[in-house]
Amino acid sequence: MYACATRRIFLKPNILKMVGRFPYYLYLCGKQFVCGDTAFGYGQRGGFPNNLYPDKKNCMAKKEISPETEAFIEEHAGDNVQTLALRAARFPKVNMATAIIQIAARQTARTKLPTWWKTTGIRYPSHLAMEQCSSEVTARYKAALIPEELKSGSFTDLSGGFGVDFACMAQGFDEATYVERQEELCSLAEHNLPLLGLPHAQVVNADSTKILESLPQQSVIFADPARRDLKGRKTVLISDCDPDISRLHELLMAKARRVIVKLSPMLDISLALEQLPTIREVHVVAVGGECKELLLVMEPEARSAEARIVCANLPTSIPTVWPTPFSFTKQQEEEADYQLATGVKAYLYEPNSVLLKAGAFRMVAAHYGVEKLHPNSHLYTSDQLIKDFPGRAFEVITHGGFGKREVKNLLESVKKANLTVRNFPNSVADLRKRLKLAEGGDDYLFATTLGEGEKVWILCQKAIGETRDENND
Which one-letter amino acid corresponds to residue 371?
A: E
154: enclosing H helix or E strand: strand 154-157
Return the pLDDT at 46.
38
- Range name among 49-53, 124-128, 190-194, 226-230 with the lowest pLDDT average: 49-53
| DSSP string computed for 331-399 | HHHHH----B-SS--SEEEEE-HHHHHHT-HHHHHHHHT-EESSTTT--EEESS--TT-SEEEEEEEEE
Going by pLDDT thresholds of 50, 70 and 90, the confidence category of residue 105 is: very high
As beta bridge partners, residue 43 has: none
- Average pLDDT of the chain is 85
Return the pLDDT at 116.
97
Helix H, strand E, coil C: the string for 306-346 is CCEEEEEEECCCCCCCCCCCEEEEHHHHHHCCCCECCCCCC
Look at residue 13 and give its three-state secondary structure: helix
Return the pLDDT at 319.
86
pLDDT in tens, 74-92: 999 999 999 998 988 899 9
pLDDT in tens, 216-255: 999 999 999 976 655 555 666 777 787 889 899 999 999 9
Return the pLDDT at 158.
96
Return the pLDDT at 47.
39
pLDDT in tens, 300-333: 998 878 999 999 999 999 888 888 899 999 999 9
Higher pLDDT, 129 or 379: 379
pLDDT in tens, 15-51: 334 433 343 323 223 333 333 333 333 333 333 444 4
Return the pLDDT at 233.
59
Question: pTM of the full predicted structure?
Answer: 0.83
Nearest to 414 by CA among 458, 472, 466: 458
Other residues' Cβ atoms within 10 Å of the Cβ of residue 449: 20
Return the pLDDT at 58.
36
Question: Once rounded to an integer, what is the mean pLDDT over residues 170-183?
Answer: 95
Cβ density class 181-212: b for 16+ within 10 Å, e for less: beebbbbbbbbbbeebebeebebbbeebeeeb
Helix H, strand E, coil C: the string for 230-261 is CCCCECCCHHHCECCHHHHHHHHHHHEEEEEE
Task: Residue count of the chain, please give it.
Answer: 473
Task: Give the count of alpha carbons within 13 A of 259, CB side only.
Answer: 29
Question: Once rounded to an integer, what is the mean pLDDT over residues 454-459?
Answer: 96
Give the angle 93-11-102 at the CA atoms, nearest 5°.
Answer: 35
C-alpha dihedral sign at 390, 373, 283, 231: negative
User: Is the predicted pLDDT of residue 447 greater than 70, yes or no?
Assistant: yes
Return the pLDDT at 17.
40
Return the pLDDT at 232.
57
Nearest to 311 by CA among 300, 323, 321, 302: 323
Distance CA 31, CA 71 (A): 30
400: enclosing H helix or E strand: strand 391-401
% of the chain surpassing 70 pLDDT? 83
As beta bridge partners, residue 420 has: 446
Return the pLDDT at 448.
97
Higher pLDDT, 270 or 12: 270
Distance CA 147, CA 327 (A): 18
455: enclosing H helix or E strand: strand 455-462
Which residues are CB-neighbours of 396 under 8 A, at least 6 positions away? 344, 345, 346, 347, 348, 381, 458, 459, 460
pLDDT in tens, 383-420: 999 999 999 999 999 999 999 999 998 989 899 999 99
Burial class of residue 331 in the structure, from the number of CB atoms within 10 Å of its CB (0-12 exposed, 13-18 middle, 19+ buried): exposed
User: Is the predicted pLDDT of residue 370 greater than 60, yes or no?
Assistant: yes
As beta bridge partners, residue 260 has: 222, 297
